[in-house]
Amino acid sequence: MKTKKQKVLEDHKKVGSKFIPPMAQLGMTEVSYVNQIFPEMVWMGLINQREGVRTGIKVVEFMAKRSNDIKASEKHINFSLASSYRELGEEQKTQIIADLKKENFFSIIQQSLAPLTCLYDDFPMAFIGPPSEYISRDTLIKALKTCISKCINKYEQPGMILQATVIYIRAIVGGLVFSKDVEVPDLNKIIKDFDSEEGQSSASLVRAMIMSEYMPLGEKKSDSWGRSFWNQGYKLDKCHFPWGKNE
Protein backbone atom coordinates (compact mmCIF):
# COMPACT_ATOMS: atom_id res chain seq x y z
CA MET A 1 0.00 0.00 0.00
CA LYS A 2 1.29 3.47 -0.89
CA THR A 3 2.03 5.90 1.89
CA LYS A 4 0.56 9.40 1.88
CA LYS A 5 3.95 10.84 0.95
CA GLN A 6 4.29 8.41 -1.94
CA LYS A 7 0.84 9.39 -3.26
CA VAL A 8 1.72 13.08 -3.13
CA LEU A 9 5.00 12.59 -4.99
CA GLU A 10 3.97 9.82 -7.38
CA ASP A 11 3.72 12.22 -10.35
CA HIS A 12 7.13 13.76 -9.54
CA LYS A 13 10.34 12.63 -11.22
CA LYS A 14 13.22 11.78 -8.89
CA VAL A 15 16.55 13.26 -9.96
CA GLY A 16 19.21 12.52 -7.38
CA SER A 17 17.75 13.56 -4.04
CA LYS A 18 15.26 16.01 -5.62
CA PHE A 19 11.69 15.42 -6.80
CA ILE A 20 10.79 17.37 -9.95
CA PRO A 21 7.08 18.39 -10.24
CA PRO A 22 5.14 17.66 -13.49
CA MET A 23 5.19 21.22 -14.87
CA ALA A 24 8.95 21.47 -14.39
CA GLN A 25 9.37 18.18 -16.27
CA LEU A 26 7.61 19.86 -19.23
CA GLY A 27 9.97 22.82 -19.14
CA MET A 28 7.63 25.10 -17.18
CA THR A 29 9.22 26.95 -14.29
CA GLU A 30 7.43 27.68 -11.05
CA VAL A 31 5.71 31.06 -10.94
CA SER A 32 5.11 33.16 -7.84
CA TYR A 33 1.76 34.95 -7.79
CA VAL A 34 3.08 37.68 -5.47
CA ASN A 35 6.51 38.20 -7.00
CA GLN A 36 5.73 37.84 -10.70
CA ILE A 37 2.02 37.91 -11.50
CA PHE A 38 0.68 40.54 -9.11
CA PRO A 39 2.98 43.35 -10.36
CA GLU A 40 1.61 42.74 -13.87
CA MET A 41 -1.96 43.39 -12.67
CA VAL A 42 -1.51 46.12 -10.06
CA TRP A 43 -2.20 48.87 -12.63
CA MET A 44 -5.74 47.53 -13.04
CA GLY A 45 -6.16 47.49 -9.28
CA LEU A 46 -5.27 51.18 -9.12
CA ILE A 47 -7.93 52.03 -11.71
CA ASN A 48 -10.56 49.93 -9.91
CA GLN A 49 -9.64 51.60 -6.64
CA ARG A 50 -10.05 55.11 -7.99
CA GLU A 51 -12.91 54.66 -10.46
CA GLY A 52 -14.76 51.54 -9.30
CA VAL A 53 -14.75 48.07 -10.85
CA ARG A 54 -17.31 48.79 -13.59
CA THR A 55 -15.40 51.77 -15.00
CA GLY A 56 -12.06 50.10 -14.33
CA ILE A 57 -12.86 47.06 -16.44
CA LYS A 58 -14.32 49.27 -19.17
CA VAL A 59 -11.09 51.30 -19.38
CA VAL A 60 -8.85 48.21 -19.33
CA GLU A 61 -11.00 46.54 -22.00
CA PHE A 62 -10.78 49.57 -24.31
CA MET A 63 -7.03 49.93 -23.87
CA ALA A 64 -6.38 46.22 -24.36
CA LYS A 65 -8.57 45.99 -27.47
CA ARG A 66 -7.01 49.03 -29.11
CA SER A 67 -3.50 47.86 -28.27
CA ASN A 68 -4.27 44.45 -29.73
CA ASP A 69 -5.67 46.01 -32.91
CA ILE A 70 -2.76 48.41 -33.31
CA LYS A 71 -0.10 45.80 -32.63
CA ALA A 72 -1.77 43.37 -35.06
CA SER A 73 0.53 40.51 -34.10
CA GLU A 74 -0.05 36.91 -35.18
CA LYS A 75 0.95 35.93 -31.66
CA HIS A 76 -1.68 36.74 -29.05
CA ILE A 77 -0.60 39.39 -26.53
CA ASN A 78 -2.62 39.89 -23.38
CA PHE A 79 -2.60 43.64 -22.77
CA SER A 80 -4.07 43.27 -19.30
CA LEU A 81 -0.51 42.44 -18.22
CA ALA A 82 1.65 45.54 -17.81
CA SER A 83 4.79 44.10 -19.43
CA SER A 84 2.86 43.47 -22.66
CA TYR A 85 2.98 47.20 -23.38
CA ARG A 86 6.71 46.91 -23.96
CA GLU A 87 5.73 45.22 -27.23
CA LEU A 88 4.36 48.50 -28.61
CA GLY A 89 6.48 50.88 -30.68
CA GLU A 90 6.57 54.63 -30.09
CA GLU A 91 4.06 55.40 -32.85
CA GLN A 92 1.72 52.74 -31.51
CA LYS A 93 1.94 54.21 -28.00
CA THR A 94 1.15 57.64 -29.40
CA GLN A 95 -1.90 56.20 -31.15
CA ILE A 96 -3.11 54.55 -27.93
CA ILE A 97 -2.88 57.86 -26.09
CA ALA A 98 -4.82 59.62 -28.85
CA ASP A 99 -7.54 56.95 -28.73
CA LEU A 100 -7.78 57.18 -24.93
CA LYS A 101 -8.26 60.94 -25.21
CA LYS A 102 -11.05 60.52 -27.76
CA GLU A 103 -12.94 58.24 -25.35
CA ASN A 104 -12.24 60.54 -22.37
CA PHE A 105 -10.30 57.72 -20.70
CA PHE A 106 -6.88 59.35 -20.77
CA SER A 107 -7.30 61.46 -17.63
CA ILE A 108 -8.75 58.47 -15.76
CA ILE A 109 -5.83 56.19 -16.52
CA GLN A 110 -3.24 58.95 -16.09
CA GLN A 111 -4.56 59.85 -12.64
CA SER A 112 -4.99 56.22 -11.59
CA LEU A 113 -1.53 55.09 -12.65
CA ALA A 114 0.26 58.10 -11.15
CA PRO A 115 1.76 56.03 -8.28
CA LEU A 116 3.50 53.84 -10.86
CA THR A 117 4.40 56.44 -13.49
CA CYS A 118 5.71 58.92 -10.90
CA LEU A 119 7.43 56.62 -8.40
CA TYR A 120 8.91 53.88 -10.60
CA ASP A 121 11.76 54.16 -13.09
CA ASP A 122 10.85 51.38 -15.51
CA PHE A 123 7.08 50.92 -15.35
CA PRO A 124 6.16 49.34 -18.74
CA MET A 125 3.22 51.73 -19.16
CA ALA A 126 5.18 54.88 -18.30
CA PHE A 127 4.36 56.30 -21.76
CA ILE A 128 0.97 57.28 -20.29
CA GLY A 129 2.84 59.98 -18.40
CA PRO A 130 2.17 61.69 -15.07
CA PRO A 131 -1.00 63.72 -14.44
CA SER A 132 -0.85 67.45 -15.14
CA GLU A 133 -1.63 68.43 -11.55
CA TYR A 134 0.81 67.85 -8.71
CA ILE A 135 0.25 64.89 -6.39
CA SER A 136 2.43 64.60 -3.31
CA ARG A 137 4.76 61.65 -2.86
CA ASP A 138 3.02 60.67 0.37
CA THR A 139 -0.36 60.59 -1.39
CA LEU A 140 1.02 58.44 -4.20
CA ILE A 141 2.61 55.97 -1.79
CA LYS A 142 -0.58 55.79 0.28
CA ALA A 143 -2.67 55.02 -2.82
CA LEU A 144 -0.24 52.29 -3.90
CA LYS A 145 -0.07 50.72 -0.44
CA THR A 146 -3.86 50.70 -0.17
CA CYS A 147 -4.17 48.98 -3.55
CA ILE A 148 -1.54 46.38 -2.71
CA SER A 149 -3.14 45.62 0.66
CA LYS A 150 -6.56 45.15 -0.95
CA CYS A 151 -5.53 43.15 -4.00
CA ILE A 152 -2.47 41.10 -3.09
CA ASN A 153 -4.41 38.18 -1.61
CA LYS A 154 -5.30 36.05 -4.61
CA TYR A 155 -8.15 34.35 -2.74
CA GLU A 156 -10.05 37.50 -1.79
CA GLN A 157 -12.45 39.32 -4.12
CA PRO A 158 -10.36 42.39 -5.11
CA GLY A 159 -7.45 40.16 -6.16
CA MET A 160 -9.78 37.71 -7.84
CA ILE A 161 -11.35 40.51 -9.91
CA LEU A 162 -7.89 41.36 -11.30
CA GLN A 163 -7.26 37.71 -12.18
CA ALA A 164 -10.69 37.38 -13.77
CA THR A 165 -10.03 40.52 -15.82
CA VAL A 166 -6.85 38.97 -17.24
CA ILE A 167 -8.85 35.94 -18.43
CA TYR A 168 -11.68 38.18 -19.70
CA ILE A 169 -9.28 40.28 -21.78
CA ARG A 170 -7.76 37.19 -23.37
CA ALA A 171 -11.24 35.89 -24.20
CA ILE A 172 -12.63 39.06 -25.81
CA VAL A 173 -9.76 39.37 -28.28
CA GLY A 174 -10.10 35.78 -29.40
CA GLY A 175 -7.15 34.35 -27.52
CA LEU A 176 -9.12 31.89 -25.44
CA VAL A 177 -11.26 29.02 -26.70
CA PHE A 178 -12.89 26.41 -24.47
CA SER A 179 -13.69 22.92 -25.65
CA LYS A 180 -17.15 21.53 -24.93
CA ASP A 181 -15.97 19.25 -22.13
CA VAL A 182 -14.17 21.99 -20.19
CA GLU A 183 -15.83 23.83 -17.32
CA VAL A 184 -15.97 27.56 -18.06
CA PRO A 185 -15.69 30.04 -15.19
CA ASP A 186 -18.51 32.56 -14.78
CA LEU A 187 -16.54 35.78 -14.42
CA ASN A 188 -19.65 37.80 -13.53
CA LYS A 189 -20.16 35.63 -10.45
CA ILE A 190 -16.73 36.66 -9.16
CA ILE A 191 -17.84 40.29 -9.24
CA LYS A 192 -21.52 40.06 -8.32
CA ASP A 193 -21.86 36.91 -6.23
CA PHE A 194 -18.36 36.11 -5.02
CA ASP A 195 -19.29 34.17 -1.88
CA SER A 196 -21.76 31.86 -3.62
CA GLU A 197 -20.85 28.31 -4.60
CA GLU A 198 -20.77 29.35 -8.26
CA GLY A 199 -18.61 32.35 -7.44
CA GLN A 200 -16.08 30.30 -5.50
CA SER A 201 -16.01 27.58 -8.15
CA SER A 202 -15.35 30.16 -10.87
CA ALA A 203 -12.66 31.78 -8.73
CA SER A 204 -10.90 28.44 -8.36
CA LEU A 205 -10.91 27.90 -12.12
CA VAL A 206 -9.56 31.38 -12.77
CA ARG A 207 -6.72 30.93 -10.28
CA ALA A 208 -5.64 27.80 -12.12
CA MET A 209 -5.87 29.55 -15.50
CA ILE A 210 -3.90 32.61 -14.44
CA MET A 211 -0.74 30.58 -13.92
CA SER A 212 -0.96 29.23 -17.47
CA GLU A 213 -1.53 32.75 -18.76
CA TYR A 214 1.74 33.91 -17.27
CA MET A 215 3.90 30.94 -18.25
CA PRO A 216 2.78 29.38 -21.54
CA LEU A 217 4.47 26.09 -22.39
CA GLY A 218 7.74 26.51 -24.24
CA GLU A 219 7.96 30.25 -23.57
CA LYS A 220 9.91 31.81 -20.73
CA LYS A 221 8.21 35.02 -19.73
CA SER A 222 10.37 37.85 -18.44
CA ASP A 223 9.85 38.70 -14.79
CA SER A 224 12.01 41.84 -14.83
CA TRP A 225 9.07 44.14 -14.02
CA GLY A 226 8.06 41.96 -11.08
CA ARG A 227 11.53 42.11 -9.57
CA SER A 228 11.80 45.84 -10.24
CA PHE A 229 8.36 46.56 -8.77
CA TRP A 230 9.17 44.97 -5.43
CA ASN A 231 12.80 46.13 -5.27
CA GLN A 232 11.83 49.74 -5.86
CA GLY A 233 8.80 49.37 -3.60
CA TYR A 234 10.92 48.34 -0.64
CA LYS A 235 13.00 51.48 -1.13
CA LEU A 236 9.92 53.68 -1.30
CA ASP A 237 8.39 52.48 1.93
CA LYS A 238 8.43 49.55 4.30
CA CYS A 239 5.30 47.52 3.61
CA HIS A 240 3.97 44.61 5.60
CA PHE A 241 1.48 42.36 3.84
CA PRO A 242 -0.40 39.21 4.82
CA TRP A 243 1.54 36.84 2.54
CA GLY A 244 -0.27 33.78 3.86
CA LYS A 245 -1.42 31.48 1.04
CA ASN A 246 -0.70 33.91 -1.79
CA GLU A 247 2.21 32.03 -3.30
Task: Assign 211 a pLDDT band (cuts: 50, 70, 90).
Answer: confident
Q: What is the pTM of this model?
A: 0.81
More confident residue, 129 or 244: 129
More confident residue, 222 or 122: 122
- pLDDT the model gives residue 44: 98
Q: What number is the average pLDDT over the span 96-111? A: 95
| Residue 19 β-bridge partners | 14
Q: What whole-number distance in Å separates Cα of residue 110 and Cα of residue 106? A: 6
Residue 20, φ and ψ in degrees, nearest 5: -95, 120
- pLDDT the model gives residue 183: 67
**CA diameter of the chain:** 69
- Among candidates 57, 51, 1, 26, which has minimal Cα distance to 212? 26
Q: What number is the average pLDDT over the span 122-129? A: 95
Q: Is 19 helix (H, G, I), strand (E, B) or coil?
A: strand
More confident residue, 35 or 22: 35
- Among candidates 109, 130, 131, 127, which has minimal Cα distance to 59? 109
Please give the mean pLDDT across all residues of the chain: 82
Task: Assign 125 a pLDDT band (cuts: 50, 70, 90).
Answer: very high
Task: Assign 208 a pLDDT band (cuts: 50, 70, 90).
Answer: confident
Residue 183, φ and ψ in degrees, nearest 5: -70, 130
Task: Assign 24 a pLDDT band (cuts: 50, 70, 90).
Answer: very low
pLDDT digit string, tens, across residues 110-119: 999 999 999 9
Least reliable range by pLDDT among 47-51, 115-119, 204-208, 223-227:
223-227
Q: Is the pLDDT of residue 144 over 70?
A: yes
Residues of the chain above pLDDT 90, percent: 59
Task: Assign 32 a pLDDT band (cuts: 50, 70, 90).
Answer: confident
Element (DSSP H or E) covering residue 47: helix 38-51
Taking 3-state DSSP, the helix, strand and coil percentages for the chain, each rounded to the nearest 5, stand at 60, 0, 35
Task: Assign 236 a pLDDT band (cuts: 50, 70, 90).
Answer: confident
Task: Assign 234 a pLDDT band (cuts: 50, 70, 90).
Answer: confident
Q: What whole-number distance in Å separates Cα of residue 181 and Cα of residue 185? A: 13
- pLDDT the model gives residue 240: 52
Report the range out of 12-16, 18-22, 73-77, 91-95 with the highest average pLDDT: 91-95
Least reliable range by pLDDT among 115-119, 147-151, 207-211:
207-211
Q: Is the pLDDT of residue 221 over 70?
A: no
